[in-house]
Amino acid sequence: MTNEVKVKDSIDASTVEGVRSLEADKYKYGFDSDIEQEFAPKGLNEDIVRFISAKKEEPEWLLEWRLEAYRRWLTLEEPTWAMVDYPEIDFQDMYYYASPVKKEGPKSLDEVDPEILEIYNKLGISLKEQEVLAGVEGAPKVAVDAVFDSVSVVTTFKDELAKHGVIFCSFSEAVKDHPELVRKYMGSVVPVTDNYYATLNNAVFSDGSFVYIPPGVRCPMELSTYFRMNAQGTGQFERTLIIADKGSYVSYLEGCTAPMRDENQLHAAIVEIIVHDDAEVKYSTVQNWWPGDSEGNGGVYNFVTKRADCRGKNSKVSWTQVETGSAVTWKYPSCILRGDDSQGEFYSIAITNGHQQADTGTKMIHLGKNTKSRVISKGISAGKSNSTYRGLVSAHRKATGARNFTQCDSLLIGNDCGAHTVPYIESDTPTAQFEHEATTSKLSDDQLFYCRQRGLSEEDAVALLVNGFCREVLQELPMEFAVEAQKLVAISLEGSVG
């Protein structure tokens, strides 16, 4: 009993601290950390690609993979169809590799640079405490892979996971220890030349997480990767590969933050998920990259390709995302519903404030029979921001009995922002049933009045109503994240009233 109370205490404390930090600053993760780091030379060319590969002591095939991708990238053009507007990116004016200086790869938490642990502490990710709490009955366990700029600094709970046959490690380790799995699955969901940013990622990807859940295993704890962009002038290019073998289940969380800087940093990641027969993957993201200051200076460009392939019969993927950060977001977590009876879900809240721009949504590609998908997207725009839902639902001729329900609602707070909806619907079979609904509205004056009448400040009232608007999505998040996300909803909208 007492142990349980302890844990609750710790959660409450962090909530209290979180709320306090809101008063001090809108973006509590914006601190800069002075960590000794080594960089690749600035710019991008074949030598840099070779440099990254050599640094990571990669096998020849992976170097060839990177070089091939780099050459293809040179022939591609940056996409311009999204409703986002940003100055041209100078791909030669950034570092493609930055890692904390280390002697030997840490074998356990004790060997990790305490300064880095401290940074994660400040971010609310207490790696050490998690490990210590491992023995405490009833404590929520989350295994964390902490990715710091271009490298994974530590992965917790590896041993315990290994007992269940679960592989959870950094991508670089997976390349060394499980090359057969990496070679089999890497690039099989997002092809090397899928799009401009994915191709760039294939050339220069640094680190990321690798997850393999063996057949029939229900992963005993939540897996989580925490991405931190720290070094100045760097881009982050991680990739995540998750394989859920037959009948397995895993819930995976992803968090991301970056320091406040007046430069624009590029984040171009790839997430690939492979789901076999009867397996299920739940992927939750709380994206909180630095969104830039109130004048629109700085902020992260978040150009991410995320895709899940429901290869097996009766497989299921569920994407849940809370997008509050980044200056520019360009992201469409998608599901290829290949296996018969497979299911895809997409729950999203995208909140933009200040000068943020978000163009996000999903693709549900129905290929198998009786496949089902559900899309719930809530976009909230405030300040001078623009948020766009862009989605595709398609049914192949053989996808008989396919079902989709899409609902995308937008909320505008203030008269300098925009909310847009761009759905693409393609059906090639009469037995598919597609339904799509969208609305755009503003917060109701009556509801605001009602809340204020009962003594809530205007800001609290807005946060309450917005939370209500987002409830369908928030309730899909794992517990630990739901609390965090609700706080974020309030942070992002702070200052939008009045």
Partner 1 sequence: MPVLKQLPHRRMEAWKWTDVRRAVQESDPGLLQEATPKISDLEDWDGFKKPYAGPAGDGCRLSMFHTDGTWRISVNEHTDLKKPLEITYAQPGHSSLEVNIDDGHSLILIEHYNCSEKGFSNIDIDIDLGEESELTRIIIHNDDSDHTRLQTSRIFAQNGAKLNQYMLSFGGGMSRLETRLYGEGEGIIAHMNGAYLLSGNRHADLTSFTKLDHPNCLIRQSVKGVVTDKAKGVFQGKFHVERDAQHTDAEMRHDALMLSDRAEIRSKPELEIYADDVACAHGNTIGALDDNALFYMRQRGIPMAQAKALLTEAFVASVFDDMEDDAMKASLMTQISEWLETSYGV
Using CB under 8 A as the criterion, which residues of the chain lie in contact with partner 1 when the complex forms? 81, 83, 397, 410, 412-442
Rounded to 5 degrees, what angle do the CA atoms 463, 468, 472 make? 130
- Pull the structure tokens for residue 205: 């990807």
- Pull the structure tokens for residue 322: 């809370």
- Pull the structure tokens for residue 331: 């992201």
* CB 426 to partner 1: min, Å: 5
Distances, alpha carbon 261 to alpha carbons 127, 143, 222, in Å: 26, 30, 32
* CB 212 to partner 1: min, Å: 38
- Pull the structure tokens for residue 386: 């623009």
* CB 496 to partner 1: min, Å: 11
Nearer to partner 1, 431 or 475 (CB): 431
* CB 422 to partner 1: min, Å: 5
Nearer to partner 1, 115 or 435 (CB): 435
Nearer to partner 1, 441 or 457 (CB): 441
What's the one-letter identity of residue 482?
A: A
- Pull the structure tokens for residue 257: 């933050």
- How many other C-beta atoms lie within 10 A of the C-beta of residue 61? 12
d(CA 362, CA 172): 29
Nearer to partner 1, 225 or 404 (CB): 404
d(CA 282, CA 433): 25
d(CA 56, CA 65): 14
* CB 394 to partner 1: min, Å: 9
* CB 425 to partner 1: min, Å: 4
Nearer to partner 1, 168 or 434 (CB): 434
Nearer to partner 1, 92 or 444 (CB): 444
487: Cα separation from own chain's centroid: 17
Q: Please, are residues 456 and 426 in contact by the beta-carbon 8 Å criterion?
A: no
Nearer to partner 1, 58 or 459 (CB): 459
Nearer to partner 1, 179 or 423 (CB): 423
Cβ-proximal residues to 490 (8 Å cutoff; 6+ apart), any chain: 22, 463, 467
Cβ-proximal residues to 465 (8 Å cutoff; 6+ apart), any chain: 443, 444, 447, 448, 451
* CB 320 to partner 1: min, Å: 24
- Pull the structure tokens for residue 410: 């937008």
Residue written as tokens 């946060």? 463
* CB 36 to partner 1: min, Å: 48
d(CA 418, CA 433): 31
